[in-house]
Amino acid sequence: MQDKPYQPNEVTNGYEYDRRKDTFSAPAISLEKERGASKSEKEDDVPTRGKWGKSIQSLMLCISMSVGLGNVWRFPNVAYNNGGGAFLIPYLLLLVIIGRPLYYLELILGQFSSQGPIKLWRVVPAFKGIGYAQVLSVSFVVVFYNYLMALSVFYIYSSMRTCLPWTDCNYPNLTANSSNITPAEYFWRNEVLEEDPENPDTFTHISWKLALCLFITWTLVYISVVQGTDSLGKMAYFTAIFPYVVLTALLIVALQEEGSLEGIKFFFKPELSKLKEITVWYRACEQSFFSLAIGYGNIVMIASYNKFTNNVYKDAIIISVLDTFTNVLAGSVIFAVLGTLAFQKDLPIDKVVNHQDLGLAFIIYPQALADIKIVPQLWSLLFFVMLFTLGIGSSMSQIETILTVIKDKFPNLRERKGYLALGVSVLFFLLGLPLTTNVGQHILVLLNNYGVGAAVYVYATLTVIGITWIYGIRNFSNDVRFMLGSTPSIFWKTTWTFTAPVALTVIFIYGNIPQEEGQKSSLPLWAEISGWVLAAAAVFQIPVWGAYVIYRNPEKTLMEKIRSSFRATKDWGPSDPEDKKSWLEMKRSPEEYKEKQRDVMFVSAVYNKSFEGDVF
C-alpha cells in the first residue's frame, strides 16, 4: 500500500507530525526513514548502537549488576544495624510492592526506547532532569564501589601470606589486651584503614597502599569496559555465577561452629517492636533500591541494548528472586559468624562488633575465613576474588551508563570508546583518592547515605509519576502490549500508579523527620553537611532542567509552554525504524483495535527548543 504524502502539522488519531528536528532525538528515528526510505546518507558515518549478542547476556549482566556488593557487603550491614529479622519483614514487603515493580518498569522503558536514562525522557520532556540527576548519583556510586573493590584487592594480596594477617597468629597478644576486639577488626581499623585514634574526624594522611589498590582496580575496570557490550555480556556469565559457589561454601563452613545457629535465629526471628521504627522501613526501601540497582539508570541502560521483543517480564522475575535469595544467603553467612563470635565473647549478637560504619563485611567475612581449618588462605583468596568480581560486574554497568549517555548524544564517539573510557576512568580514580585517607570511611558513609540513598527516593517517585500519571498508564500499557504482545496485569498497573508512589512518598517524608531520641550520627558535622550538598546537587538537576525545558518551549503563553513540556515529543517510541513504523501504524489504525478502542494512544508531537544545545 502506498504511503500518502507527508503533510506538515497533519494530525491523525491525536498524533501530530512535525518535520522540525528535535535535537534531543537520535538520527535513527527520522520520519523520512520511517516512510520507507533507505538509510540516509547522513547516517552512513554514524556508528550504530550495539546490541547484546544473546538475550542471556543481558540477563546475566542484569544479574551481575543487581546481585553484587549491595547484597554481600551492604545488606548484612544494614540488616545488622536494623534488628536482624525485624529488617527482613519490611524489606520483603517493600520488595514486592516497590522494588520488583520499579525494576520491571525500568527494564520496559530501556528496551522499548533503546535509549539511555536521559534520552528516555522524550516521553515527558520536563522530567529529563531525572536522567541528569541519575547520572550524577551513578557517579557517586562509581566512586565508592571501586573503592570497595580496592579494599578487596588489598585483602587478596594479604591472603597470600603464610599466616593470614587478621588471625591470632599475627596478633597473639590481642585477645589478652583487648577482649572486645577481634584480630579481624583490629586488622581492618589499623592495617587497612590506618585510622588515627587521636584525630578520627580530621584528615592526616593518605594510605599509599589503598591508593595503589585503587589504581589497579580502575585499570582492570577500564580494560573490561573498553571491550564493548558483547564482551561485557560474556564476562557476566562468570560474575553472575561464581559468587554463589563461594557463599554456599562459606555458609557450610560457618554452620560447623558452635553458636552459629543462634546467629541464624537472630537473622530470621523478628523483633516486632522494631517494626514501629520508621528508620527500619526507610533503610529497607533504600536497600531494595541499592540491591536491585533501581533508580540509577543502570537497568535502563542495560535494557536499552536488548532486542525489542526480549521477554523482560521473565528477566524481572528471575533477577528479583535471585537478588532476594542472594541477600538471604549473604545474611545467613554473616549472622552465622556473628553467632559464633557472640558465643565466644559471651556477648549479645547486636553488641559483638562496632558497626557504626559500613565495614561489617570486612570484619565478619575474614573472621569466617580464618575459622576454616583446611588451607584458609585459599578460601580467603577465593572469597575476595569473588567480592572483586561482584564489584566489577556492577562497576562496568555503572561506567557503561555514563558512557551510554555521552555516546547517545555524540554517536561519533562510539568509534572512540577507548579514549572516552580512559578519560572517565582517570577522572573517577582521582575522585576516589579521598576515600583512601584516614577519614575515608566518613566519605564512604556520606556518599552512601546522602549522595545515593536520599536522592534515589526522589528519582523513583518521579519516574512512576511521569510514566503512569503524566504519559498515562493506558498509553504505557499499550506500548508494553505492542512490544511484548500482552498488556501488564492489574498487579503491575496498581503498583505502578498507586502503591509505589504513595508508599515511597510516605516513607521518604517520615524517614527524614528527626527522631525525638535519635541515635547520634557516626559522621562529623563536616561530613553531614557535605552529604546534604551532594544530595542537593543531584536532586536540583530535576527542577533546573524542568525550568529550562519550559523556558525554551516555543509556545507563546506560560501555560501553553508548561502543557507542551509535559507531552511526549514526536521522537518518543522505538528507536529501530521498522519497529517505530509499526508502532505508528498501530496508532494510525484504531479500526484494527475496535475491541480496545478505549486504549488507543494519543501522543502529542512537540517541537521543543529546550533540547537544542544540551550538554548530552
Task: Indicate whether 13 belongs to any domain.
Answer: no
pLDDT of residue 81: 80
Q: What is the CATH number for 320?
A: 1.20.1740
Per-residue confidence at 238, pLDDT binned at 50, 70, 90?
low
Q: Assess whether 72 and 141 both reside in one domain.
A: yes
Q: Does the pLDDT at position 518 exceed 70?
A: no
H helix or E strand, kind and range, residue 15: strand 15-16
Task: Indicate whether 546 belongs to any domain.
Answer: yes
Closest CA to 471 of 109, 118, 132: 109
Which of helix, strand or coil describes residue 520? Answer: coil
Q: Does the pLDDT at position 616 exceed 50?
A: no
Q: Which residue has the higher pLDDT, 243 or 60?
A: 243
* 604 class by beta-carbon count within 10 Å (0-12 exposed, 13-18 middle, 19+ buried): middle
536-578, pLDDT tens digit by residue? 888 899 999 999 999 988 888 899 999 999 998 888 888 888 8
Q: Assess whether 556 and 599 both reside in one domain.
A: no
pLDDT of residue 589: 65
Q: Is 390 annotated as a binding residue?
A: yes
Instruction: Encode burial over 267-283: b for 16+ CB neighbours within 10 A, e otherwise.
Output: beebeeebeeebbbbbb
Region at 181 (left for phi over 0; alpha for psi -120 to 50; beta for the rest): beta
Q: Mean pLDDT in the chain?
A: 77
Task: Indicate whether 592 belongs to any domain.
Answer: yes
Q: Assess whether 528 and 591 both reside in one domain.
A: no
pLDDT of residue 600: 42
Q: In angstroms, what CA-CA distances link 327 with 235, 323, 330, 349, 574?
A: 22, 6, 5, 19, 35
Task: Indicate whether 392 belongs to any domain.
Answer: yes
Q: Does the pLDDT at position 434 exceed 80?
A: yes
Q: Does the pLDDT at position 455 exceed 50?
A: yes
Task: Indicate whether 40 belongs to any domain.
Answer: no
pLDDT of residue 548: 93
* 16 class by beta-carbon count within 10 Å (0-12 exposed, 13-18 middle, 19+ buried): middle
Q: Does the pLDDT at position 426 exceed 80?
A: yes
Closest CA to 148 of 348, 443, 469, 355: 443
CA quadruple 368, 371, 374, 378: dihedral, nearest 10: 40
Q: Assess whether 479 and 581 both reside in one domain.
A: no
The C-alpha cell at 235 is: 564476562
Q: Assess whether 484 and 584 both reside in one domain.
A: no
The C-alpha cell at 476 is: 504505557
Q: Assess whether 538 and 585 both reside in one domain.
A: no
Q: Which residue has the higher pLDDT, 614 or 434?
A: 434
Contact 570, 18 (CB under 8 A): yes
Mean pLDDT over residues 445-463, rounded? 82
Q: In angstroms, what CA-CA distances link 414 with 53, 229, 248, 373, 406?
A: 18, 12, 41, 51, 9
The C-alpha cell at 129 is: 532532569
Cα gap 295→281, rounded to integer Å:
18
Any residues with CB less than 8 A from the CB of 539 and at least 6 apart, and which?
Answer: 133, 455, 458
Instruction: Encode burial over 420-452: b for 16+ CB neighbours within 10 A, e otherwise.
Output: bbeebbeebbebbbbbbbbbbbbbbbbbbbbbb
Per-residue confidence at 129, pLDDT binned at 50, 70, 90?
very high
Q: Which residue has the higher pLDDT, 489 or 199?
A: 489
Mean pLDDT over residues 169-183, rounded? 61
Any residues with CB less than 8 A from the CB of 360 and at least 6 apart, and which?
Answer: 76, 77, 80, 334, 353
Q: Assess whether 308 and 329 both reside in one domain.
A: yes
Which of helix, strand or coil describes residue 523? Answer: coil
Task: Indicate whether 356 belongs to any domain.
Answer: yes
pLDDT of residue 467: 94
Per-residue confidence at 11, pLDDT binned at 50, 70, 90?
very low
pLDDT of residue 65: 62
18-39, pLDDT tens digit by residue? 333 333 333 332 333 333 334 3
Cα gap 47→33, rounded to integer Å:
17
Q: Phi first, then psi: what are they for 16, rounded to 5°?
A: -95, 125
186-214, pLDDT tens digit by residue? 888 888 888 877 777 777 788 999 999 99
Q: Assess whether 327 and 405 both reside in one domain.
A: yes
Per-residue confidence at 272, pLDDT binned at 50, 70, 90?
confident
pLDDT of residue 62: 64
Cα gap 289→95, rounded to integer Å:
9
* Highest mean pLDDT, choosing among 58-62, 493-497, 507-511: 493-497
Contact 435, 144 (CB under 8 A): yes
What's 39's DSSP letter?
P
Give bridge partners of residue 12 from the DSSP assignment. Answer: 15
Domain with 592 in it: 577-612
pLDDT of residue 582: 84
Q: How many CB atoms within 10 Å of residue 200?
A: 13
Percent of the chain past pLDDT 70, that is, above it, reads 77
Percent of the chain past pLDDT 90, that is, above it, reads 21
Cα gap 550→611, rounded to integer Å:
10
Q: Does the pLDDT at position 93 exceed 60?
A: yes
pLDDT of residue 451: 65
Q: Is 170 annotated as a binding residue?
A: no
Task: Indicate whether 205 belongs to any domain.
Answer: no
Cα gap 295→457, rounded to integer Å:
8
Task: Indicate whether 334 belongs to any domain.
Answer: yes
Closest CA to 114 of 303, 316, 293: 303
Provide the number of structural domains found in the chain: 2
Q: Is 71 annotated as a binding residue?
A: yes
Q: Is 291 annotated as a binding residue?
A: yes
Mean pLDDT over residues 89-114, rounded? 92
Cα gap 321→71, rounded to integer Å:
13
Q: Assess whether 380 and 461 both reside in one domain.
A: yes
Instruction: Encode burial over 384-397: b for 16+ CB neighbours within 10 A, e otherwise.
Output: bbbbbbbbbbbbbb
In 418-487, the DSSP E strands lie at none
Q: Assess whether 102 and 162 both reside in one domain.
A: yes
Q: Assess whether 394 and 542 both reside in one domain.
A: yes
Per-residue confidence at 354, pLDDT binned at 50, 70, 90?
low
Q: Phi first, then psi: what are they for 334, rounded to 5°?
A: -60, -50
Q: Assess whether 527 and 604 both reside in one domain.
A: no
Contact 255, 261 (CB under 8 A): yes
Mean pLDDT over residues 259-276, rounded? 86
Q: In angstroms, what CA-CA distances link 329 with 252, 280, 324, 325, 545?
A: 11, 20, 9, 6, 42
